[in-house]
Amino acid sequence: MAMTVGERTRLRFFFGALGCVPLFLSGWFGWLQVLQAGEMKRPEGGRVALLAQAAEVQHERREHLPGARGTIVDRHGAILAMDCDAFEVRAEITIPRKHSADCKDARAYLLGMSRSLADALCRDNGLADRTAARAEHFTRIRDRIEAAFAWKDFPADGPLPAGAKRVREILVDRGVAVLSVIEALEELDRDQDGVLLHMQHDHARVYPEREVTYGLVGYVEDKPVLSPAGKLLAYRETALAGLEAVPELLPGAPGEREFHVDSKSHRFFTGVGRSAASPSRVESTIDLELQKAASRELERQALAVSGDAKDRPLWGALLMVEIATGDVLAAASWHRDVKHPRGAAFTPYQLLYEPGSIVKPLLFAYAREHKELDWDRSFDCSSTGADHHLDVPEVGGRRVRDDHGCGILTPHGILVNSSNIGSVKVGSLLSRDDWRRYLDVFGFERTLGLQMPAELVGYASKKGWLPGIKPAAFKKWTGSSYSIGYEHQVNALQMARAYLTLLNGATRELRMVRAVEVDGQRRERSVVAGSREFSPQTIEEVCAAMRDVLTDAQESTGRHVVAAFRKEGVELQGLLGGKTGTAKSRTTIKGKGTVEVRNASFVGFAPAEAPRYLVVCVLQRDDSARFYGGSYAAPPAVRLLLEALRLEERRRLGQGPQVSATPGSSGRSPRVAETGQAGR
Amino acid sequence: MKWVLCGLTFALSVVLAVATVSIRAGNTRLRLELAREFRSIEARRMEVGRLSLQTAEHATPERLCDRLRELLRAGGVVKTQESSSWQ
């Protein structure tokens, strides 16, 4: 079949044109690999190696999967704090060409984008006030977009200024975990031009029982990490209070996931990748039910002191410890003038007070054990005058006052009457060295060692320990003050530890973490016990006196609380033991200067014959009016002890906790669980 | 004849190229869908975790008791009998 000349020419032209393609490709390849020496400059300034590997990397991405912070549970496994999966949403916003010709148009486009993003974030059906939430989101996103695009530098009209960026990335929100919000954001990503959303894996810290565990469990915040030159390097999660400071809670190794992106930066699935390390688990000693009861009782008592808010106690602390192990079962904190617990001192270990008479059983046990105090010895505690005073000859004639006239008393009687005169006489048996050892044995100047941030460690007044002070002067002033719980400051947990030592007969430490599980391995925290200090006989004698404090006898300082509970049908006599304390002291209050305060305190234990639970309560009131430990600090402490016994019995029978029958006394506000992003 | 063979070879190569591209595009589309599906499962898993915590929080004895008190205070009628025969 012969072809015409025209046909031949057309075919030659066609195949000739086809032959140019490999020629062009060869030329291009030669230009890149030979003339450009295998590298190409990118618009951002960097150079990219022209290899197959580099081509792969161009569309490969790696997603960082941060490890979760550990979970904190109570002693029965109830969750107190945990990390929940959530997204950190970042938006890459591009001003489209059609809107970038005019500044007014560009600004309107960016405002519209802020509104769309805010609308998507409000697609949460659980939001109480959607309008307020939308306004808040809109303001925040608009401000971020404005800052990212330097929008303020745009002229009112006309084209965008030279050098103005058309593409910027902003943080939309953190801790996004609501499905409807995620779907709304994905819809926006799919349908709206000029925005590309990156959903990065993150965690939101959740505290299910927040209202009752704020200071105890604590919280974390991101703190900036700066270089020596002051440049911001990163943010590091830092625990500012409570159990969150346990080092094992730090997140484990992060995971990683690879994916590919298309020309429009949409992601391709390439597999599940490597997961982050599973979070550690911290088993605290807290009993959530007792913690609720402690918070409820402390608040109820503080509010009951006065109907007028300004006459209520300044602060209060109520805590419970298991005597056998030193486990802190509950620790509640209350403040009068604090609007939000974040930033407020956690009263059980971040506030100090002068303990007053609740140190007397400790002193008597020490004197009985180490100074051979005869438990049958009689002390003349007679006083004179309307203020029941006596210039005690044993301490150089220092004037000491009692609350009521006492007469001749044995050490047992002194404790039941809480006689200051008797206590000073017993305290006079101790030398300066004895007092030093007394402070050491009961740990009044020693840290709790619980690894809790911002602990305020108690201290004894330095004045009495100056080298120039003579023994007689020490005994007259410092020793006699120590005997009745003055001239030294303690926190409530230190007081609990001192009684733990007394009731166990050996120096003991408190425990707030029972065990830690890291990488599937559970490690128990051992119970810390020191040297033997008190014989069983001494412990029994002191406990007997404390049992008699809670009787209806005329001289016992706990008679009011016994009578009050009897009216409610509860007989405390023989059920509990305790000691009341009332101290008059001075403290500095911000905005008020130095003011006179009263510390009402109570320490108790249950059951009376074989103590298992120890409770300490302290309320401080900035008022000179009478404010007694037996009337104010004892009731919540006693209620908490009764609750512990009741709960123990219910658990033994396999029953759950019982909810208070009193309306409004559940100790919980009707808020939902706090979801803290912890600034991440 | 040789020109016809050349033309057919060229047509075959074009068809193969187009087929390869379309298969790859289909593959990409599936992978994109798979990625979207995976993300949506992740989002649902996240929601389940969040809701289970929220439910546990709302179902504590205290909150249930408070709700019951609210209902009683509001004058709600509490049925003491079974509401249907099958219960």
Q: What is the mean pLDDT of residues A400-418?
A: 92
**Chain B CB contacts of A15 below 8 Å:** 6
Interface check for A240 against chain B (CB to CB < 8 A): the answer is: no
| Residue A493 pLDDT level (bands cut at 50, 70, 90) | very high
**Chain A CB contacts of B63 below 8 Å:** 666, 668, 670
Interface check for A659 against chain B (CB to CB < 8 A): the answer is: yes
- pLDDT more than 90, % of chain A: 54
Q: What is the mean pLDDT of residues A1-9?
A: 79
CA distance B41 to chain A (A): 10
**Chain B CB contacts of A659 below 8 Å:** 61-62, 65
Question: pLDDT at residue A672 above 90?
Answer: no
List the strands of the sheet with A60-65, edge to edge. Answer: A60-65, A255-261, A267-269
Across the interface, whether the CB atoms of A668 and B3 are under 8 A apart is answered no
Query: If you search the block for the tokens 């004179």, which residue do you land on?
Result: A384
Which chain A residues in 184-223 lie under 8 Å from chain B, judged by CB atoms?
186, 199, 206, 208-209
Question: pLDDT at residue B86 above 70?
Answer: no
**Chain A CB contacts of B65 below 8 Å:** 659, 666
Number of H helices, E strands in chain A: 18, 28
β partners of residue A319: A331, A616
What confidence score (pLDDT) does residue A668 get?
A: 40
A4 vs A618: which has the higher pLDDT: A618
Whether A269 contacts A249, CB under 8 Å? no
CA A587 to mean position of chain CA atoms: 25
What confidence score (pLDDT) does residue A665 get?
A: 42
CA separation for the pair A555, A335 (Å, rounded):
33
**Chain B CB contacts of A275 below 8 Å:** none
β partners of residue A587: A595
CA distance B81 to chain A (A): 23
Across the interface, whether the CB atoms of A177 and B10 are under 8 A apart is answered no
pLDDT digits (tens, 9 = 90+) for A466-491: 888 898 999 999 999 999 999 999 99
For residue A446, which of A486, A498, A481 has the smallest C-alpha distance? A498
Chain mean pLDDT for chain A: 87
What confidence score (pLDDT) does residue A38 get?
A: 66
- Please name the residue of chain B whose CA is at the shortest distance from the CA of residue A12: B3
**Chain B CB contacts of A178 below 8 Å:** 47, 50
**Chain A CB contacts of B58 below 8 Å:** 672
| Residue B78 pLDDT level (bands cut at 50, 70, 90) | low
Across the interface, whether the CB atoms of A208 and B56 are under 8 A apart is answered yes
Query: What kind and span of H or E run contains A269?
Result: strand A267-269
Q: How is A193-231 classified by DSSP, letter by letter? A: TTEEEEEEEEEEEEETTHHHHHHHH-EEEEEEEE-TTS-
- Please name the residue of chain B whose CA is at the shortest distance from the CA of residue A14: B7
Question: pLDDT at residue A352 above 50?
Answer: yes
Interface check for B3 against chain A (CB to CB < 8 A): the answer is: yes
- Please name the residue of chain A whose CA is at the shortest distance from the CA of residue B25: A262
Question: pLDDT at residue A151 above 70?
Answer: yes
| Residue A65 pLDDT level (bands cut at 50, 70, 90) | confident
Question: pLDDT at residue A666 above 50?
Answer: no
CA separation for the pair A419, A400 (Å, rounded):
10
pLDDT digits (tens, 9 = 90+) for A428-445: 999 999 999 999 999 999
Whether A205 contacts A237, CB under 8 Å? no
- Please name the residue of chain B whose CA is at the shortest distance from the CA of residue A7: B3
CA distance A360 to chain B (A): 39
Q: What is the DSSP letter of A392?
A: E
CA distance B72 to chain A (A): 11
pTM: 0.81
Question: pLDDT at residue A667 above 90?
Answer: no
pLDDT digits (tens, 9 = 90+) for A452-461: 888 999 999 8
Work out the number of other CB atoms within 10 angstroms of the CB of residue A243. 24
Question: pLDDT at residue A670 above 70?
Answer: no
Across the interface, whether the CB atoms of A268 and B39 are under 8 A apart is answered no
Whether A516 contacts A504, CB under 8 Å? no
Across the interface, whether the CB atoms of A182 and B45 are under 8 A apart is answered no
What confidence score (pLDDT) does residue A659 get?
A: 60
Whether B44 contacts A178, CB under 8 Å? no
Interface check for A13 against chain B (CB to CB < 8 A): the answer is: no
CA distance B74 to chain A (A): 14
- Cβ-nearest to A673 among B31, B53, B66: B53
**Chain B CB contacts of A177 below 8 Å:** 46-47, 49-50
CA A463 to mean position of chain CA atoms: 35
- Cβ-nearest to B54 among A186, A269, A672: A672
Between chain A and chain B, how many beta carbons pairs sit less than 8 Å apart? 84
Across the interface, whether the CB atoms of A208 and B57 are under 8 A apart is answered yes
**Chain A CB contacts of B35 below 8 Å:** 259, 267-269
For residue A89, which of A166, A186, A221 has the smallest C-alpha distance? A186
What confidence score (pLDDT) does residue A176 get?
A: 92
Question: pLDDT at residue B80 above 70?
Answer: no
Question: pLDDT at residue A678 above 80?
Answer: no
Across the interface, whether the CB atoms of A666 and B28 are under 8 A apart is answered no
Q: Is the peptide bond before A636 cis (omega within 30 degrees of 0)?
A: no
What confidence score (pLDDT) does residue A511 get?
A: 95
| Residue A387 pLDDT level (bands cut at 50, 70, 90) | confident
Q: What is the DSSP letter of A324?
A: T
Q: Report residue A171 as tokens.
A: 């943080």
Q: What is the DSSP letter of A384?
A: B
What confidence score (pLDDT) does residue A119 get?
A: 95
Q: What is the mean pLDDT of residues A606-616?
A: 95
Number of H helices, E strands in chain B: 2, 0
**Chain B CB contacts of A670 below 8 Å:** 63, 66
- Please name the residue of chain A whose CA is at the shortest distance from the CA of residue B34: A269
| SS3 track for A140-153 | HHHHHHHHHCCHHH
Across the interface, whether the CB atoms of B62 and A667 are under 8 A apart is answered yes
- pLDDT more than 70, % of chain A: 92
| Residue A75 pLDDT level (bands cut at 50, 70, 90) | very high
**What residues contact A302, with CB distance under 8 A and at least 6 apart?**
A312, A313, A316, A334, A336, A619
What confidence score (pLDDT) does residue B76 get?
A: 58
Question: pLDDT at residue A372 above 70?
Answer: yes
| Residue A58 pLDDT level (bands cut at 50, 70, 90) | low
Phi-psi category of A487—alpha, beta or left, where left has phi over 0 and alpha has psi -120 to 50? Answer: left
Phi-psi category of A322—alpha, beta or left, where left has phi over 0 and alpha has psi -120 to 50? Answer: beta
Q: How is A599-647 classified by DSSP, letter by letter? A: EEEEEEEESSSS--EEEEEEEEESSSS---IIIIIHHHHHHHHHHHHHH
pLDDT digits (tens, 9 = 90+) for B19-76: 999 998 888 788 888 888 888 898 999 999 889 888 887 888 778 888 888 888 876 5
- Cβ-nearest to B53 among A206, A270, A663: A206
- Cβ-nearest to B38 among A262, A269, A658: A269
